[in-house]
């Protein structure tokens, strides 16, 4: 487990810390089923808590979201929620979407825009299970959904998932070159949905300082800059585990269009990102165990 701290540390932390867990869960669920897989999560999570150096980051976050000092059982519940999400993601990537009972909240916002043939930017986070959109996509057979992200295919965890579902490569638009932005804009203008996670900073140059749980920290400005260039409506989306096979997916209309005029770009960007951070914080308080950023998010160890 890496001890590196800073904006780049989440890449190494999450990659090294969860590889064996992903591989084991994948084998269990594909050979023994989801119910048996969930039973195996208890010893797996106990082992991970005992030998992982990231539990202090879980405590740091839970102390804020729970508004109290979290005992070990809260940390266990946090990691169990993360492991359960990975297990369910394996199921979703295997095409077994019928195993889940998903309740949609605010989907009429999405319905209205889709019926108007408008493409949409879905702004998410490392909160809950973003792959639940696979279930929602069956509601609109003509609509495609792709994830927008940096090329993290070298990460071992992503290699496991791509081996499980080779079609994943076709469901991602990798950003970082001019052609990718053109592909994204064309994809959205055709009336499709593009999902972007907006709670991890890739590079300091695009970081925006926000107040999150009464402390300044940094969020990535890149996703909203992309949304402003695409000129599409932005909807926040969170897919949260409830219990057993039950999930709740929440949609919030964030903005009909992101405007970042050159003269006020940083000010407007800060305004939008703080709005995002405020909504994310509200959801974290309501369901604190569904947020999975196990690294020094507030840079407390700088």
Which pair of tokens denotes residue 189?
Answer: 């203008």
Q: What is the pLDDT of residues 71-109, one digit of tens each?
A: 999 999 999 999 899 888 888 887 778 888 889 899 899
Question: Residue 301 falls within a domain, yes or no?
Answer: no
Return d(Cα 56, Cα 141) in angstroms, integer. Answer: 44
Question: Residue 223 falls within a domain, yes or no?
Answer: yes
Question: Residue 219 falls within a domain, yes or no?
Answer: yes
Mean pLDDT, range 230-243, rounded to an integer = 92
Question: Residue 299 falls within a domain, yes or no?
Answer: no
Residue 16 has pLDDT above 50, yes or no: no
What pLDDT was estimated at residue 276?
96
Q: What is the pLDDT of residues 128-184, one digit of tens each?
A: 998 887 776 667 778 888 888 876 554 566 667 777 666 667 778 887 777 888 899
Question: Residue 300 falls within a domain, yes or no?
Answer: no
Return d(Cα 207, Cα 228) in angstroms, integer. Answer: 16
Task: Give the range of the structural domain holding residue 82, as residue numbers without chain letter.
Answer: 9-290
| Structural domains in the chain (count) | 1
> Phi, psi at residue 271, to the nearest 5°?
-60, -50
177 in helix, strand or coil? coil
Round the average pLDDT of the chain to a whole number and report it.
84
Question: Residue 101 falls within a domain, yes or no?
Answer: yes
Return d(Cα 169, Cα 191) in angstroms, integer. Answer: 21
Return d(Cα 234, Cα 194) in angstroms, integer. Answer: 10
Return d(Cα 160, Cα 156) in angstroms, integer. Answer: 6
pLDDT band at 13 (very low <50, low <70, confident <90, very high): low
What's the N-to-C CA distance of the chain in angstroms? Answer: 18
């Amino acid at each position: 487990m890496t001890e590196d701290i800073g904006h780049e540390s989440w890449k190494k932390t999450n990659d090294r810390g969860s590889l064996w867990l992903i591989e084991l869960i994948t084998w269990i669920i594909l050979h023994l089923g989801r119910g048996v897989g969930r039973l195996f999560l208890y010893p797996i999570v106990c082992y991970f808590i005992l030998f992982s150096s990231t539990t202090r980051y879980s405590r740091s976050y839970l102390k804020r979201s729970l508004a109290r000092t979290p005992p070990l059982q809260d940390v266990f519940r946090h990691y169990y929620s993360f492991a359960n999400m990975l297990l369910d993601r394996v199921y979703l990537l295997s095409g077994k979407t019928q195993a889940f009972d998903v309740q949609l909240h605010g989907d009429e916002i999405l319905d209205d825009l889709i019926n108007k043939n408008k493409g949409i930017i879905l702004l998410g986070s490392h909160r809950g299970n973003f792959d639940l959109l696979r279930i929602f996509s069956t509601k609109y057979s003509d609509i495609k959904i792709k994830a927008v992200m940096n090329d993290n295919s070298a990460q071992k965890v992503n290699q496991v998932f791509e081996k499980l579902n080779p079609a994943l490569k076709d469901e991602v638009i990798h950003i970082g070159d001019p052609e990718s932005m053109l592909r994204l804009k064309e994809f959205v203008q055709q009336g499709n949905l593009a999902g972007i996670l907006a709670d991890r900073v890739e590079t300091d140059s695009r970081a925006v300082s926000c107040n999150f749980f009464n402390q300044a920290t940094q969020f990535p400005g890149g996703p909203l800059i992309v949304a402003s260039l695409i000129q599409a409506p932005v909807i926040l989306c969170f897919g949260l585990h409830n219990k057993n096979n039950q999930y709740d997916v929440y949609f919030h209309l964030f903005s009909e269009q992101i405007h970042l005029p050159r003269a006020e770009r940083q000010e407007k960007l800060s305004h939008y990102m703080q709005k995002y951070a405020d909504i994310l914080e509200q959801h974290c308080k309501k369901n604190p165990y569904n947020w999975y950023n196990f690294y020094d998010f507030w840079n407390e160890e700088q």
